[in-house]
Chains A and B, each alone.
Chain A
Amino acid sequence: MTLFSVIGAGVAGLAVATELVARGARVQVFDPGGPPGPHGCSWWAGGMLAPWCEYENAEEPVLRLGRQAIDWWADRTEVTRRGTLVVAGTRDLPDLRRFARRTEGFSEVGQAEIKELEPDFQKFGTGLFFADEAHLDPRKAMQDLYRGLMDKGVAFHRKFAPSGLASAIDCRGLHARDLLHDLRGVKGEMLVIRCPDVTLTRPVRLLHPRIPLYIVPRGKGIYMLGATMIESEDSGRITARSMLELLSAAYALNPAFGEAEVLEIGVDLRPAFPDNLPRIRRLGRVIHANGLYRHGYLLAPALAQGVADLALENRHSEMVDEDRA
């Protein structure tokens, strides 16, 4: 029986390994960084399962494939299904109308409904509520997949994969650009803050022409603020401007965030192809699964299913853009 070697234990690699194992395959995983941790960009994700919101500025597959992600994750980790609230400041209401025009799956909510949904955000008189969206804690999700694989006897090797492996699945994200020349990095910056004064039970997105922000509750008064999108491949540090913008946007949502403690600052690069959609590409004996961009948790399940279809049944899902086996 074939032993598949998944290279990279970010959300892509873990999802691929999980899907292969679920379909009865034998799998081992290589990652020199070891178990899930801050060395990979999946660690810094927001964890929103928000295909309808994302569709506002993404291609159609993001909505169609992303919708299936919520159930896939719910079978494997804790998923909170409380929807997404989208709001805008009074002078940015044209952006809210535009957002509504460009997507679907929401109801318009006024002050009374917003007060009922999120009492701490009732200063917003109008918004959009995407009831069917969900969110998860990315770190917990990765750890749950990791433990699930360990329980099934999958070996994790804390080292680089040996070269020339047969049946390898390369999920190295941006590290794979040595072989995938159309892959680029898109810088993202985020903050984790603690602010027990504010209660928020679902992700909120604040629309703004220059500084769009989302805030995702992680429980116990901890929130993730994200995320910048910059066409830069400098993953070094957050800029003062980005930090100012993220915090000002949070402050605009609720001034009580001014008292928050900043727990973490995350900066990393999202791997992306030119159309910002993920790809499965078989080159010789290696299947590449990459380019999840800002949709790591939203599209990893569909990516993993596409890899398993190709590896086990030689079926070509829509994500396969090249097959030179």
Chain B
Amino acid sequence: MKRFYGTELPNPLMLGTAQYPSPAILERTFRESGAGVATVSLRREGAGGAGQTFWAMIRDLGVQVLPNTAGCHTVKEAVTTAHMAREVFGTPWIKLEVIGHTDSLQPDVFQLVEAARILTGEGFQVFPYTTEDLVVGERLLAAGCEVLMPWGAPIGSGRGLSNEYALRAMRAEFPDVPLVVDAGIGLPSHAAHAMELGYDAVLLNTAVARAGDPVAMARAMALAVEAGQLAHRADPIEPRDMATPSTPVIGKAFLS
């Protein structure tokens, strides 16, 4: 498994920490899914550094924390939030999110590249939430990012991978870069799909937190990413147009 800024993750499931019915359910979701990374939003929950109890709970989950800049619309906001995150969680990791469009929550890739350049210059290890655009991906790598996180579909939409072709192209273009499908996952099959394409991890929040039973859904997601990863490594067969018999056909009139 690829390393994320030198860190090997216990498994390829990254879970958000927002929108759960209660912190108790959040805690069980992480414990029972074994998710390796917890993303946490500082912008919304943290005005004035006041989310202390909730943040302490996140730290106590015992998983790698990936603070994010969710809700930021400008470079300045994102950079300020990243500074706060480093202070609160004592990690150089930052999931960089700069929103450009209110309805679709589509990233503003221009500001994203700019913010990534500033933050990597300050020693942050940046996980940029981006589109599947290859050129933007290159610019982010040039700005110092060592991980890319393209969207599967808009945040919270649960639509799955809406542009599989582009995600395949991205995988092919950046074979050595850890790639994470971030956002748009609604079902375990979507998560498995991303892993089957050779992605290195999947990041999701709403699909689990807003499910009727978040704990069960997170387990399903963990099983799915494991299945997808195993399948990718197992070198799947190519689809073909004709049936291929899987049992011996000797002695049968197969050429008739």
Give the A-B pair count, Cβ closer than 8 A: 51
Determine which of A57, A101, A236 lies in contact with B48 in the assembled complex, contact meaning CB atoms within 8 Å: A236
Contact with A along B197-238 (1 / 0, CB 8 A): 000000000000010100000000000000000000000000
In the complex, B44 has a CB within 8 A of chain A: yes
A229 to B: closest C-beta gap in Å: 10
B25 (CB) vs chain A CBs: closest residue: A275
- A15 to B212 alpha-carbon distance, docked (Å): 32
Segment of B52-60, B106-114, B169-177 in the binding face: B52-60
Point out the residues of chain A lying under 8 angstroms from B47, CB to CB. 232, 234, 239
From known contacts A230-B45, A231-B45, infer whether A274 and B50 are also in contact, taking CB-CB under 8 Å.
no
A215 to B: closest C-beta gap in Å: 22
- A80 to B249 alpha-carbon distance, docked (Å): 78
B44 touches A230 (CB 8 A): yes
Point out the residues of chain A lying under 8 angstroms from B212, CB to CB. 101-102
Point out the residues of chain B lying under 8 angstroms from A231, CB to CB. 23, 45, 51, 53-54
Determine which of A232, A236, A276, A277 lies in contact with B51 in the assembled complex, contact meaning CB atoms within 8 Å: A232
A155 to B: closest C-beta gap in Å: 35
B158 (CB) vs chain A CBs: closest residue: A94
Interface residues of A in 37-96 (CB under 8 A from B): 57-59
A237 (CB) vs chain B CBs: closest residue: B47
- A236 to B212 alpha-carbon distance, docked (Å): 34
From known contacts A232-B45, A234-B50, infer whether A274 and B21 are also in contact, taking CB-CB under 8 Å.
no
Interface residues of A in 263-289 (CB under 8 A from B): 272-277
B212 (CB) vs chain A CBs: closest residue: A102
Point out the residues of chain A lying under 8 angstroms from B53, CB to CB. 184-185, 231, 233
- A274 to B21 alpha-carbon distance, docked (Å): 10
A275 (CB) vs chain B CBs: closest residue: B24
Point out the residues of chain A lying under 8 angstroms from B21, CB to CB. 57-59, 276
- A234 to B52 alpha-carbon distance, docked (Å): 9
Contact with B along A180-213 (1 / 0, CB 8 A): 0000110100000000000000000000010000
Size of the A side of the interface (Cβ < 8 Å), in residues, is 23
Interface residues of B in 137-172 (CB under 8 A from A): 156
> A185, A234, A239: which has the most chain B beta carbons within 10 Å?
A234
Point out the residues of chain A lying under 8 angstroms from B48, CB to CB. 234, 236
From known contacts A232-B54, A233-B50, infer whether A274 and B156 are also in contact, taking CB-CB under 8 Å.
no
Determine which of B44, B51, B52, B57 lies in contact with A274 in the assembled complex, contact meaning CB atoms within 8 Å: B57
- A121 to B22 alpha-carbon distance, docked (Å): 32
Contact with A along B13-54 (1 / 0, CB 8 A): 000000001111101000000000000000011111011111
Contact with B along A308-321 (1 / 0, CB 8 A): 00000000000000
- A239 to B44 alpha-carbon distance, docked (Å): 10
A177 (CB) vs chain B CBs: closest residue: B53
Point out the residues of chain B lying under 8 angstroms from A272, CB to CB. 22
Point out the residues of chain B lying under 8 angstroms from A102, CB to CB. 212
A209 to B: closest C-beta gap in Å: 6
> A57, A98, A274: which has the most chain B beta carbons within 10 Å?
A274
- Chain A interface (Cβ within 8 Å of chain B)? 57-59, 98, 101-102, 184-185, 187, 209, 230-234, 236, 239, 272-277
Task: Kindly list the 8 A-B residue pairs having the minimum CB-CB distance in the complex, ordered from nearest.
Answer: A234-B50, A275-B24, A184-B53, A231-B54, A276-B22, A274-B24, A231-B45, A274-B23
- Chain B interface (Cβ within 8 Å of chain A)? 21-25, 27, 44-48, 50-54, 57, 156, 210, 212
Beyond A58-B21, A231-B23, A276-B24, 11 additional pairs, beta carbon < 8 A = A57-B21, A59-B22, A184-B54, A185-B53, A230-B44, A231-B51, A234-B47, A273-B24, A275-B24, A275-B25, A276-B23
